[in-house]
Structure 1
Amino acid sequence: MPPALGALAAGFLACLGLIVAIGAQNAFVLRQGIRREHVAVVVALCTAGDLVLTAAGIAGLGPLVAAHPAALTGVRWFGAAFLAWLAVAAVRRARHPERLDPAAAGPASRRSVVTTCLALTFLNPHVYLDTVVLLGSLAHTRPHPRGFGVGVVLASASWFSALGFGATRLAPLFARPRAWQVLDLVVAAVMATLAVTLVVA
């Protein structure tokens, strides 16, 4: 395999290994996909976030991020508070399943979706450690760091596209409020767990 292609494949696999796990960002993309709300915007923002952060790591900002734990601590607490707020909001929705009828619920505004997506992307300190530090460092173990970065972005775009647009096929299942109630409880559990993890980390 040519070195450039090998670097691309390594970046693709490394990125998938980091983002496929259930997390706040994935739960949000899944929910938006099922609701069929601004899916393309959400997928584009998540992919662009990985692109920017990985590029920063490849450019050499990884050691700078690692050298300023105080900044990561601030992000960690902001992120934990935001995730806790999302968990509470999901529990409140789940407590009133009669209000979760997709036909009756009004669509979320593009601005609110974009704001939430950006917050879930950049208020999680682990994303900086995963992309800027880890993936950025791994890129420089290859003879073609940029090829590694391209692989990362391709994996990110592939995963979020599959998750967001693939979730639309679940829409018939979520035609009933009860299904949304279960999903919101799962989302609440994910958000609350991650919030606690950030605080006690």
Structure 2
Amino acid sequence: MFQAMLHGFLLALGLILPLGAQNVFVFNQGANHKSLKKVIPVILTAGLCDTLLILLAVLGVSLLLNQYPSLQLAIYIIGLLFLLYMAWSLWTEKPGDATDQPSMSARKQIGFALSVSLLNPHAIMDTIGVIGTSASVYMGEEKLAFTCATIAVSWVWFIGLAVIGKQLGRLDASGKYIVILNKVSSLIILAVAGIVIKNMWTLI
């Protein structure tokens, strides 16, 4: 059981460490809000979305996606539109004012976190494909340990990103560096969108 848990921990860490759209968004929101409690919506949403994707992966949804390339293409197209919109939004977003009013409301945080988590085709294919394949070698308690370890990594990672982002935001009283961060985040998300377009091309 320990081996399965360690496998899940290392695999999840390897998948979540790269600077993808989801990580950028969680970190960005932490930096844009002076209070950590105002970032709770994005942490909860990102954590729950990852939990859902991991559970789907363990239950074997990757087999369904592999059988229907047209379904993969539909996910890519929808996800690409959301990524482009998110990149534009972050490029034009301004930091909160001196009264600590959030630049993005809780509802908008949840909406964006949902889109960048569940409609990010690059993340979906990685999570469902890689974790699903790895989980298939385990049964019973070992599969449960593997699943719990991967889910735990996601939650701890998102909380940590938000906390680190908040510390950066606290050091940047003028908001100048947050504006730069927003623009860098936008460019990273555009790079992710480029990968999505490349993957779409291979399916057409």
Structure 1 match to 2:40:
40
Q: Identity rate of aligned residues, in percent?
A: 26
Q: Cα gap change, 1:133/1:168 in structure 2, threshold over 3 Å: closer, same or farther?
A: same
CA distance in 2, matches of 1:25, 1:53: 13
Structure 1 match to 2:18:
21
CA distance in 1, matches of 2:153, 2:128: 16
Q: TM-score, normalised by structure 1?
A: 0.87
Q: How does 1:54-73 map to 2 (within 5 A)?
A: 54-73=54-73
Deviations 1:67-90 (A, max 9, x none): 122122112122212211222223
For 2:106, give the aligned amino acid.
R
Structure 1 match to 2:109:
113
Unaligned runs of 5+ in 1: 94-98
Q: How does 1:3-18 map to 2 (within 5 A)?
A: 4-18=1-15
CA distance in 1, matches of 2:92, 2:167: 26
Equivalent position SS for 1:171? helix
Equivalent position SS for 2:10? helix
Q: How does 1:53-132 map to 2 (within 5 A)?
A: 53-93=53-93, 100=95, 102-103=97-98, 106-107=101-102, 108-132=104-128
Unaligned runs of 5+ in 2: 200-204
Structure 2 match to 1:192:
190
Q: Cα gap change, 1:38/1:172 in structure 2, threshold over 3 Å: closer, same or farther?
A: closer
Equivalent position SS for 1:175? coil
Q: Supply the RMSD in Å over aligned alpha carbons.
A: 1.9
Task: Tell me how far 1:184 sits from its aligned partner.
Answer: 1.4
2:139 paired with 1:139: no
CA distance in 1, matches of 2:5, 2:86: 35
Task: Tell me how far 1:150 sits from its aligned partner.
Answer: 0.7
CA distance in 2, matches of 1:115, 1:46: 10
Deviations 1:3-49 (A, max 9, x none): x1211111011011001110111111001112246322222221211
8 A Cα contact 2:83 2:120, kept in partner: no
CA distance in 2, matches of 1:15, 1:128: 13
Equivalent position SS for 1:187? helix
Structure 2 match to 1:96:
none
CA distance in 1, matches of 2:91, 2:62: 37
> What is the number of residues matched between the two proteins?
193
CA distance in 2, matches of 1:186, 1:200: 21
Q: TM-score, normalised by structure 2?
A: 0.86
CA distance in 1, matches of 2:101, 2:156: 29
Equivalent position SS for 2:60? helix
Q: Cα gap change, 1:59/1:70 in structure 2, threshold over 3 Å: closer, same or farther?
A: same
8 A Cα contact 2:122 2:195, kept in partner: no
Equivalent position SS for 2:133? helix
Structure 1 match to 2:177:
179
For 2:13, give the aligned amino acid.
L
